[in-house]
Structure 1
Amino acid sequence: MKLTELDLNLLLVFDRLVQDGRVSRVAESLGLSQPAVSNALRRLRDLLGDELFLRTPAGMVPTPYAQQLASPVAQALHTLQSALNVRASFDPANSDRCFTLAMTDVGEIYFLPVLMDTLAHEAPGVTLRAVTVADSTLREDMATGRVDLALGSLPPLQAGYFQQALFRQRYVALMRQAHPLAVRPQVTATLYRQAAHVRVVSAGTAHGLVEEALQRLGVHRTVQLTVPHYVALGHVLGNTDLIATVPERLAERLTAPHALVARPLSLKLPVSTIAQYWHAHLHRDPGHQWLRGCLARLFGAGEAGTVSA
């Protein structure tokens, strides 16, 4: 079919149905009546020669053909929207925009308290939604606009993405203030081997590089607890003689609330670069530029400039 035969509003309805799955929700979000949404879906079915959505108790489920169309249509709509908004201004003090940020649990602990405090003073109407950076659909979610910005240490994305380094950080040993190793200025390889450890297995993140480095160094340790994330780490360390190997920026956030101390390691572990990542369709968006500027101002250490990934 030719684009001249297609009403762009039909694609807006299609995109919303993919996301929301219910005619009533689509009607509300687009400011239409439910009959108008149903009529738009009927017209699109006739044009494309496919049912597109099947009604089920759980809502409108896309057909295989609709699933193939979903990502390209969403990306095209977001690209068009971004192009139309290039010259638009952004006033953080009066904006009610919602940004979706992808990050690890470490990122949530480190970034969000400072960022939310800044928003409260500079952009009280702006809201944030945090999602996991380890999601396998991250690239697609960024390309289609479901995720605005990713924070962390990520592998190269691909052409069409930008990144800006914020800071570099090493890994340190974290323990309670009364831990026997807390009196030491540094945790040596021997002391590290002798200690009892908490191991954090943070799937899909750069923290796995530490485990790989320990294996290469031939460092064997006693792991008494393995956890899938960092959420409970402060509470565990504060009440045991276990130690954990963590990014130093996380250690900064956990030491005071949980009466912990951080000590440098003599082991040569990798240093990670934490950056912010975004898709090209948001590169010139004024609101997105403002948010990136905030993050660079609050957390940047002048490590690197903006480059395409």
Structure 2
Amino acid sequence: MDLKDIDLNLLVVFQRLITERRVSAAAASLGLTQPAVSNALKRLRLLLDDELFIRTARGMEPTPYAAQLAEPIAYALNAIHSSLNQRSTFDPATSTRKFTISMTDLGEIDLMPRLMDRLATEAPFVTLSTVRNTLDHLADAMEAGQVDVAVGLIPQLKTGFFQRRLFLQRYVCMFRAGHEVDGRKLTAKRFFDADHVVVVSQGTGHARMDEIIESKGTRRALLTVPHFVAVGHILSTTNMLATVPERYALRSAGPFGLKHVPHPLPLPPIGINLFWHAKFHKDPANQWLRNIVFESFVG
């Protein structure tokens, strides 16, 4: 006999009949009608070619074959039930798991100080690593569990992914205190007449801002860099401007003696989201990581 020929519900009825020994009692415990249980028993008799239960004054007595089947069927059903209801657990206080987060260097600057403080108290043995969210194989890496979550504007993560909005990223213009535009209204003309340091970050929300700016005019880009890490240092000692996210400007203005003003061009805000693969939607460890990333960004 092939397993595909067996309806699991028939075995559930069999187990209740073994326990209750009466069709009426088995039906009541299963929430079924007596005819439904009788019909199930009839199907089982045909499939197994045995009477299985004989009516007696004491109730439904199992045949030797039914008695032989009782223990393995009960074991199998209990194993299936346990497996279906078993949930993995995650204890951040004792876990030594290593998580990988995909994000830009802006995300690292904005998130990591607060996130590491959080881990120090809640998950002292958990470790983190970051990778760039411009990886060509990011979707595959997240599906395989090699990358746990991703942060940013990542349009390629669509089918098979969940996402949650973290914040709207607005752009400003940043420069050193005492720059010739300091204290003056920064117009579009003054913006394009100035010298610029430009961050080239393909495949990110910042790249979209650059496209909009270039559609309005041509900047004198004296320097292009692949990340934001050095922008604060560069602006503090030069007469260049930079178009940067407002959150970055707020964090770097004080340490580097910089100022920032609303951007003279109508740049739309960019939605920055948290992404995770549907495969890990109910994974307790992934759920915990998503929660603390969200709370760290919005806090």
How far residue 166 of structure 1 moved from its aligned partner, in angstroms, is 0.4
Q: Percent identical across equivalent pairs?
A: 47
How far residue 181 of structure 1 moved from its aligned partner, in angstroms, is 1.8
Q: Secondary structure at the match of 2:181?
A: helix
Where does residue 58 of structure 2 map in the other structure?
none
Where does residue 206 of structure 1 map in the other structure?
205
**In 2: Cα distance, 1:284 partner to 1:171 partner:** 35
**Do residues 117 (structure 1) and 117 (structure 2) align?**
yes
Aligned AA (1:114): R
Deviations 1:149-205 (A, max 9, x none): 101111142321110010001110111122222223x52212211211111111221
Q: Mapping of 1:37-186 within 5 angstroms?
A: 87-184=87-184, 186=185
Deviations 1:78-127 (A, max 9, x none): xxxxx999712222122211110011111111111111111112211111
**In 2: Cα distance, 1:232 partner to 1:216 partner:** 26
Aligned AA (1:216): S
**How many residues end up aligned between the 2 structures?**
217
Aligned AA (1:272): I
Are the aligned partners of 1:85 and 1:285 in contact in 2 as well (CA < 8 Å)? no
How far residue 216 of structure 1 moved from its aligned partner, in angstroms, is 2.6
Where does residue 72 of structure 1 map in the other structure?
none
**In 1: Cα distance, 2:226 partner to 2:84 partner:** 43
**In 1: Cα distance, 2:284 partner to 2:136 partner:** 28
Are the aligned partners of 1:213 and 1:270 in contact in 2 as well (CA < 8 Å)? no
Deviations 1:16-49 (A, max 9, x none): xxxxxxxxxxxxxxxxxxxxxxxxxxxxxxxxxx
Are the aligned partners of 2:172 and 2:245 in contact in 1 as well (CA < 8 Å)? yes
Aligned AA (2:187): T
**In 2: Cα distance, 1:178 partner to 1:285 partner:** 52
Instruction: Tell which deviates more after alignment, 83-92 or 100-109.
Output: 83-92
Where does residue 53 of structure 2 map in the other structure?
none
Aligned AA (1:223): A
**In 2: Cα distance, 1:127 partner to 1:90 partner:** 15
**In 2: Cα distance, 1:241 partner to 1:220 partner:** 18
Aligned AA (2:188): A
State which of 252, 276, 279 in structure 1 corresponds to 2:277.
279
How far residue 247 of structure 1 moved from its aligned partner, in angstroms, is 0.9
Q: CA separation of 1:268/1:231 partners in 2, compared to 1, >3 Å: closer, same or farther?
A: same
Q: CA separation of 1:193/1:283 partners in 2, compared to 1, >3 Å: closer, same or farther?
A: same
Q: CA separation of 1:148/1:183 partners in 2, compared to 1, >3 Å: closer, same or farther?
A: same
Q: What 5-or-longer segments of structure 2 have no aligned partner?
A: 1-82
Q: CA separation of 1:121/1:267 partners in 2, compared to 1, >3 Å: closer, same or farther?
A: same
Deviations 1:212-265 (A, max 9, x none): 112332x22211111111121111011101110011111122112212111111
**Do residues 246 (structure 1) and 244 (structure 2) align?**
yes
Are the aligned partners of 1:200 and 1:227 in contact in 2 as well (CA < 8 Å)? yes
**In 2: Cα distance, 1:295 partner to 1:86 partner:** 26
Instruction: Select the structure of larger CA radius of gyration.
Output: 2
Where does residue 187 of structure 2 map in the other structure?
188
Q: What 5-or-longer segments of structure 1 have no aligned partner?
A: 1-82, 302-309
- Greater relative contact order, per chain length (Cα 8 Å cut-off, separation 6+): 1
Are the aligned partners of 2:197 and 2:242 in contact in 1 as well (CA < 8 Å)? yes
Where does residue 261 of structure 2 map in the other structure?
263
